[in-house]
Chains A and B, each alone.
Chain A
Amino acid sequence: MEFIATVVILTCTYALLAAGIVILYKAGRVVNFAHGEIAIVGGYVFYSSGLMVGDSLWFAILGAVAFSVVMGAFIYAAMMRRVVGEPFYVAILITVGIAIVLKSAIIVVWRAEQVTIDVGVAPAVRLAGGATLSYMDLASIVLTVVFFLALYLFFTFTRSGVQFRGTAENPLLASQRGVNVNFVLSRAWIIAVSAATLSGVLYGGRAFLGTASVTIGLAGLTAALVGGLDSLRGAVVGAFIVALAQYLTVRLIDSVLSEALPFLILLVVMSIRPWGLFGTVEELDRV
């Protein structure tokens, strides 16, 4: 029971990260190497916003939402918009630059302080064997389900969602049909940053936020690549595979290998199925 709970919670963190990476890839063919940094900085913003007003949860949420909107819109408007049509590696290099800047921000703004988000850390459910799940753990599961459900409803039933899918499919045609492609792409960044921030907050509730925590971005990226860079369903499956493999490595093989394992999985999947488990072959060929 404890094993299942741990893997599910870890899956949720990675799935949220992977979802953001997939959305950005689908929308603009950008592989975001700054996702871990965005997640952890989002977590820090949540933490600091709450502290600013006497540990207020509402201000923390407000701060995290504001960060997601501003950061997402800013990255697109100030950087990504300018490289549309440029070779794909230009955008990738920009995300590497963003990662470095955000990691430096953790050092400069938060003095690399390791912080925890102590919201709902009290035990909520006692499992067989004495282990417990906190309210934050339960919130991880619920919020991840809600996030993916909202994404599904957005893409399937809303006009904006259809425009998004159209832009992902063929930006030129979408633009000719009157879709404001820039608006769609900036929204994709806002959604992706929101997902990353949510995962950063949940991660800060379970582990801690610090410069070392940005490595969760690699687990998210691996999950997205394993599942297929253009598949949200693949993001969830990829996240589950990475989480399960990490957990089993710690428990059954050698705990020290848990850090290298996501990359081993990635190498295996990429050598067998370079487009990922649920990815589209044609899409990846362009990369």
Chain B
Amino acid sequence: MRKQLFRRGITAAAIIAGLAGFSAAQAQETYKIGYITDLSGPLAGSYTPTWEGFELYIKALNDRGGINGKKVDVILDDDGLKADRAVAAAKKQTERDQVVGIFGLSLSSTQGPVYAEMRKAGVPVVSTFSGIGDALPPAQPFSYSTGIVFEIAGDAIGELGQAIKKGGKVVGMTIDSVGGRAALAHNKKAVEAAGGTWDEVIFPVATTDFTPFAQAAAEKKPDVIVGHYGSGQNLGVIPALRRSGYNGPYVVASYGVTEDTIRQAAQRAGSGENIYYVTRYSSSFDKNPSVGEVAAAQKKYGTSKPFSSMHVTGWALGKFTEAALKGCGWPCTREKLDQTIQTLKVDMGGLTGGPIEMSATDHYGPTYWRLYIWDAKDNVMEPKGNWIKKGSQGFK
């Protein structure tokens, strides 16, 4: 009886050891990275397409054989737009899943705690969708962004908005978040520097009926209104503004706002006239080979959301990630990945106006921005002018 028990014990131990060895071997065979974003919270509509664009890139990359013959394994976690959940997910990914870096992230209010926690753990974090100032020079260690840092977005929109109406009164609208307020502050600075006047309307993050806020904005008699928020808010604000009698120019800042959202909002508003769009990455309507590549991948692998510039944004992060992991070599460690990203320059091939370029002190680099106008007749986005370049210095 004892012998039998002993034998069984040995067998069980062997199986467990085998499994552990197998899973360790498996783990070593892939580049393991984490991705955290809001897939179920109030801004899921904005963040999901960006994740899908990233996922498309990784799928295509793995189908090509991966990097250095190793596949890329992405651990995805949903933060529901909550900072505590985002931090818990980041800890889980670093401690249990042993990822070498974390990508994505959601709203500015969830990014700060994740950046801070991962700095302690020595894990590089690259935010893609929107970003707080941690990545701007002088950058915080391990904190990077290939997305939209609100300070710079606000500045770029202020400059590009001059093509719509030189000088004049601009009303900025945003949700009550760190990033939203930062965007407004820099948008205001740029507008005033160009000789215009500024006013603003800020509403709570969880707002879903925008009518009183739209009326407050319309009552300020603006020449241009700029909306610094995501898809859902635009879906509500644009019709509410038109219902309030404001039919002037409205600029959509591309914080996760898809072209389909603009189409829907225009439809609800009864007109798509006078809607503009400012974006860091190309519109999905752009006719260039890189955007065509994303469209082809979307057709091949499929996405839950209609093809949009947010997929392009996620794809651009994928391209950046591939370059980072390639530079990191094999085996890739967190330290090596961090060192690699610090000197990374990635050609975006038309996905934006120029390359993404990092340095030891600047974890964001120069960015490129473009103004588009919505063609209400054909439901397409047309560029209005060329890309403008924005440096990352002087925003902190």
Contacts and interface: CB of A to CB of B under 8 A. Distances in A.
Given A114-B232, A123-B243, A211 B44 contact: yes
B204 A118 contact: no
B203 interface: yes
Contact of B245 (A9, A131, A211): A131
Contact of A131 (B41, B243, B304): B243
Contact of B40 (A9, A211, A250): A211
B203 A258 contact: yes
B44 A250 contact: no
A122 B243 CA distance: 10
Given A114-B235, A129-B245, A2 B215 contact: yes
A131 B40 contact: no
A119 B210 CA distance: 18
A140 B76 CA distance: 42
Given A112-B40, A258-B212, A207 B203 contact: no
Contacts of A123: 243, 270
B212 A131 contact: no
A116 B268 contact: yes
Interface of A: 2-3, 6, 9-10, 13, 107, 111-114, 116, 118, 121-123, 129-134, 203, 206-208, 210-213, 215-216, 246-247, 250-251, 255-256, 258-259
B45 interface: yes
B215 A131 contact: yes
B244 interface: yes
Nearest to A134: B243
B203 A256 contact: yes
Determine which residue in A9, A114, A123, A259 has the highest number of CB atoms from chain B within 10 A of its CB, and name it: A114
Given A107-B40, A112-B45, A122-B270, A216 B203 contact: no
B199 interface: no
B186 to A, nearest CB: 19
A269 B116 CA distance: 42
B211 A6 contact: yes
Determine which residue in A13, A113, A210 has the highest number of CB atoms from chain B within 10 A of its CB, and name it: A210
Nearest to A9: B211
A250 B212 contact: yes
A112 B204 contact: no
26 contacts: A2-B245, A10-B211, A13-B209, A114-B44, A114-B45, A114-B231, A114-B232, A116-B235, A121-B239, A131-B215, A131-B245, A132-B242, A134-B243, A207-B211, A211-B44, A212-B41, A212-B42, A212-B205, A212-B207, A246-B212, A251-B215, A255-B202, A255-B216, A256-B176, A256-B202, A258-B207
Determine which residue in B202, B203, B207 has the highest number of CB atoms from chain A within 10 A of its CB, and name it: B207
Interface string B218-239: 0100000000000110011001
Contacts of B211: 6, 9-10, 206-207
Contacts of A6: 211-212, 215
Contacts, number: 115
B25 interface: no
B212 A207 contact: no
A130 B41 contact: no
Contacts of B270: 121-123
Given A121-B239, A256-B203, A208 B208 contact: yes
A111 B304 contact: yes
B232 A212 contact: yes
Determine which residue in B207, B213, B243, B246 has the highest number of CB atoms from chain A within 10 A of its CB, and name it: B243
Nearest to B40: A107
Contacts of A130: 244-247
B140 interface: no
A236 to B, nearest CB: 19
Contact of B264 (A9, A116, A203, A259): A116
B267 interface: yes
Nearest to A258: B204
Contacts of A258: 203-204, 207, 212
Nearest to B230: A114
B146 to A, nearest CB: 25
B206 interface: yes
Contacts of B323: none
B227 to A, nearest CB: 14
B39 interface: yes
A2 B245 CA distance: 10
A239 B268 CA distance: 27
A250 B244 contact: no
Given A2-B215, A256-B176, A256-B202, A113 B45 contact: yes
Nearest to B44: A112
Contacts of B231: 114
Determine which residue in A10, A112, A206, A258 has the highest number of CB atoms from chain B within 10 A of its CB, and name it: A112
